[in-house]
Structure 1
Amino acid sequence: MDVTSRYSLNFPTSIRFGAGVIDELPAYLKAQGLQHPLLVTDPLVKELTFFKEIVKSLTLAGLSVEVYADMHKNPVKSDVLKGKDFYGSTGRDSIIGVGGGVPLDVARAIALSINHHRDLFDYDDLIGGDKYVTEAIPHLVTVPTTSGTGSEVGRSAIIAEDDTKKKRILFAPSLMAKMVFADPVLTMDLPPFVTAATGMDALTHNLEAFLAKNFQPLCSGIALEGMKLISESIVDATHRSDLESRAKMLMASMMGAVAFQKGLGVVHSLAHPLSSLLDTHHGLANAVNLPFGMRYNYAGFEEQFDQMAYMMGLGPKAGDKFVDYLFDLNQALNLPIRLSDIGVEDGHIETLADLAFADFCHPNNPKPVSREDFKKLYMEAL
C-alpha cells in the first residue's frame, strides 16, 4: 500500500432491499413531490404481470404514468434519443428504470440527456466526457428484475453506436439513482437460462473486481463476500428458485456492481465483442469466457485465487482447482462451455481479437493482455 498517495473511495445510493419493497414505490414518489414518472423498461418486461402491477399501483396512487420500452437487446444511441424525446413530449418529471442492465442503462442515459444537450457521446468517460456532466438529472429510481449487472447501483451506462456497435461509457457520480428498490420477488419468475447467465455475469463482476490492479480494498472485500453469496445460491436460484437464493443473488449482483468500480479485466474484454459482433447475451458471453480468462490470470496470482476458492467453498489453498470449478459450474447451470456452442466460428476470431484488444476493460486486468493473447484465448475457448 502506498501511504503517500490519496484515494477517493465512493459507494452508492440509498437502497430499499427485501421481499415486497416494490409496494413502497408510489408513496416514495409522492413524498418526493413527483407526479409524472416515465417507466423505462424493455419490450419483454413491459408485458410481464409484475410490471403491469407496478403501473397499476402507481396509477391507483394518482400518478400519471407513461412507459418507454423501445430499445434493442444491446442498447444503442437512437434508443436513448427516442426516450429523451418521449420524456419531453409527455411532460415527465422523473424516470424509473425497471428491468435488467439494458433498460437500467437506457434509463440512466435518458436521464443524462434531459439537461445535457451536447452529442450524447461527448459524455463518453473514455475521452474525458465526464467533465461535461455539470447539470442535475431528473429524479432517477431503479428497480432491478435480474441479478446480473447490478446497474441499479451504478453511475454509468454502456450505450453502443448505432452503426459500428462500438460501446461507449457514459459516467458521472451524479448519474446514480436517488433510490433503489431491490425486491427479490421480482426476480422469482426469471427462466433458468436468464437466471444462470445473469448470475454468471454477477460472478464475473466480483471475480474481476477482486483481481483488478487498481487500489480499492473496500471493493475487494465486498467482492469476496459477493462471491460467497453466489456460490451459496446460483444453482438453487437457477433450478429451484426459492426466495432465499433469489435474495442472495440480488444482493451479490449489487455487490459486484459496487466492487467493479475498482475495475474489470480480460473476461469482460473477451465478452464485449461477442455482444457487439454476434449480439450474444452479455452474461452468457462472460460465462463461457470466464474459465479461460481466469486460467490466463492464475500464474503470479495464486494467493488471490486461494482466497477466491476459499470464499466459494473449495477449501483452503485450493486456488489451483478454481478454473475447473468454473467449468463445472457452467455445466451445473446448463450453460455452454465453448464459444462454438454459441455461434462463434474460426472466421470471427481475428475481428474478435481486434475488438477485445480495443476494449476498455483489460487495462485494469492484473496482468497485461496483448492482441495475440486475446486471439489465443478465443482459440482455446472455441
Structure 2
Amino acid sequence: MLDIHSTYTYNFPTKIRFGVGVINELGPYLKENNIFRPLIVTDAIISELPFFSKVISDLERQGISPSVFNEMHKNPVKSDVLKGKKNYQNSICDGVIGIGGGVAMDVARAIALSINHHRDLFDYDDLIGGDKYVTEEIPHFITIPTTAGTGSEVGRSAIISDDITKQKKILFSPSLLAKIVFADPTLTLDLPAFVTAATGMDAITHNIEAYLSRGFNPMCDGIALQGLKLLAQSIVQATKEPDLFSRSKMLIGSLMGAVAFQKGLGMVHSMAHPLSSLLDMHHGLANAICLPIGMEYNYVGFEGKFNVMAYTMGLGGNQGKNLVDSVMVLNEQLGLPQNLSQVGVKEEHIPELARLAKQDFCLPCNPKEVTEEDFVQLYKKALSYD
C-alpha cells in the first residue's frame, strides 16, 4: 500500500528514490559523489518555475555550481544536443542532470552520450547497430521527472530527430541508464491540466502497447498491467483535482510503463512520432488521439488481451470489446481533442505522415502488420474520428 508520508528506495531498473521531499536529497547526493559543477538540462518552461529556482538556490547554498541548459525544441533535434554538449564543455561540467519530461530527459541523455563519444550523433542510432560504438565512459547521469508520462527517467535511450529530414533516431545503450532517479510527486503538482492529461495518456499508451507488443516477456506484461491499473485509477483525479496520492500513482504508473516498453511498442507510437517531428504536435497528445485508432486496428485476434486490459482498467470481465470506446470517453473526460482535424492536421499531410510511420522504429513490435496504405487510411480515419 502506497503511503505518501513515506519515502522509498528500490532498484529496478536503476536506483530510484521515490516520495514527497526526495528532491531535497539531490545536493547531498552530488557532494557524496564529488559532483560540484553539474549541467542541469531542462526546458524553458520548467526553468522558470518556482521549484526549479529553489533547486538551484539549494544547490548553490551547498557549495555546488550548476549550469543550466534549456535551449531545446518541443520535439528535440540533433542541434539541441550539440548546443548542450558545447555548454557542458565550456562550463567544465562534471555530471548531467535531466529535470523535466521526456524532451528534457532525451536531450540530457543524448548530451551525456556525446561528451566522450565524438562520432556523428546519429552513428549511435540503435536501428543501424550504433550501440556498438558506445564504448567510452558516460558522465554521472541523474534524472528527476516532473511529468508522469514518458517514464524516460528510467530509460536507456534518447529519441532525437534529424533537423532536416525530421526522421526520429533512437540512441540506445544500457550505459545510458541514470545512476539514480529522484521521483518526487510534489514536482508534478503544479502541472497544467492539459500537460497532466496528455503526458498521462502517453503513459497509458506505453503500458497498453507494451502489453500488446510482439514477443515473449511475461515480466514486462505484468508490469504493464499494474502500471495501467494505477494510471486508470488516478489520471482523471490528477488532471481535474490533483492531490499527492493521485500524482504519486501517476508517477509510479509512468515509471512502470517505461520499464514495460523495453519489450516494445507499436503502431500508435509509429503514428504519433511523425505528428510530432513533422507537425510539432505534443507527443502525449498525438498518442492520445491515435490510441483508439491503433487499438481498434489491433483488436481482432487479440480479444483475450483486450479482455485482460479492460478488467485491469475496471470495466469488468469480458469487456475488451468496449475498451476502445472507454479510451475515447477517457480522452473526453480529460478535455483532450478527439481527432486530428481538431489540432490542425490536414489531408495533405497524410502521405508524408504515412511514409514516416511505416519507417518508424516502433512498428516491428506491433502485433499486426501495417502497410503504408494502411497508415494512409488510419490517418484519414483519425482526421474525423469521434
TM-score (norm 1): 0.97
For residues 290 and 12 of structure 2, the distance between their equivalents in structure 1, rounded to whole angstroms, comes to: 29
Alignment of 1:140-155 (within 5 A): 140-155=141-156
For residues 215 and 133 of structure 1, the distance between their equivalents in structure 2, rounded to whole angstroms, comes to: 27
Cα deviation, 1:253-275, whole Å, max 9, x if unaligned, reads: 01000000100001000111101
Q: Report what 2:303 is aligned to.
A: 302
Cα deviation, 1:153-189, whole Å, max 9, x if unaligned, reads: 0000001111111111000000000000000000000
Alignment of 1:206-221 (within 5 A): 206-221=207-222
Q: Report what 1:92 is aligned to.
A: 93
CA apart distance, 1:13:
0.7
Q: Report what 1:198 is aligned to.
A: 199
Cα deviation, 1:71-117, whole Å, max 9, x if unaligned, reads: 11111111111111111111110111000000111000000001111
- Deviating more after overlay: 26-35 vs 169-178: 26-35
CA apart distance, 1:215:
1.5
Q: Report what 1:234 is aligned to.
A: 235
State the superposition RMSD in angstroms. 0.9
Alignment of 1:13-92 (within 5 A): 13-92=14-93
For residues 344 and 216 of structure 2, the distance between their equivalents in structure 1, rounded to whole angstroms, comes to: 37
CA apart distance, 1:12:
1.6
Unaligned runs of 5+ in 1: 1-9
For residues 352 and 64 of structure 2, the distance between their equivalents in structure 1, rounded to whole angstroms, comes to: 49
Name the amino acid aligned to 1:147.
A
For residues 197 and 170 of structure 1, the distance between their equivalents in structure 2, rounded to whole angstroms, comes to: 24
Cα deviation, 1:195-220, whole Å, max 9, x if unaligned, reads: 00000000000000000012211111
For residues 21 and 30 of structure 1, the distance between their equivalents in structure 2, rounded to whole angstroms, comes to: 16
Please give the secondary structure, in 1, of the residue aligned with 2:308: helix
For residues 35 and 354 of structure 2, the distance between their equivalents in structure 1, rounded to whole angstroms, comes to: 47
Q: Report what 1:131 is aligned to.
A: 132
Alignment of 1:325-336 (within 5 A): 325-336=326-337
Q: Report what 1:312 is aligned to.
A: 313
Cα deviation, 1:306-326, whole Å, max 9, x if unaligned, reads: 000000000011101100001
Cα deviation, 1:1-55, whole Å, max 9, x if unaligned, reads: xxxxxxxxx9521000001100000001111111111111011111000011110
For residues 262 and 238 of structure 2, the distance between their equivalents in structure 1, rounded to whole angstroms, comes to: 26
Please give the secondary structure, in 2, of the residue aligned with 1:263: coil
Name the amino acid aligned to 1:146.
T
Provide the aligned length of Structure 1 versus Structure 2. Answer: 373
Please give the secondary structure, in 1, of the residue aligned with 2:105: helix
Q: Does 1:324 align with 2:322?
A: no
For residues 281 and 105 of structure 1, the distance between their equivalents in structure 2, rounded to whole angstroms, comes to: 15
Alignment of 1:229-308 (within 5 A): 229-308=230-309
Q: Does 1:117 align with 2:118?
A: yes
Aligned identity (percent) is: 65
Q: Report what 2:163 is aligned to.
A: 162
For residues 277 and 121 of structure 2, the distance between their equivalents in structure 1, rounded to whole angstroms, comes to: 19
TM-score (norm 2): 0.96
Q: Report what 1:370 is aligned to.
A: 371
CA apart distance, 1:192:
0.4
For residues 216 and 174 of structure 2, the distance between their equivalents in structure 1, rounded to whole angstroms, comes to: 19
Please give the secondary structure, in 1, of the residue aligned with 2:262: helix
Name the amino acid aligned to 1:54.
V
Name the amino acid aligned to 1:328.
V
Name the amino acid aligned to 2:371.
S
For residues 40 and 275 of structure 1, the distance between their equivalents in structure 2, rounded to whole angstroms, comes to: 21
Cα deviation, 1:256-309, whole Å, max 9, x if unaligned, reads: 000001000010001111011110000000000000100000000000000000
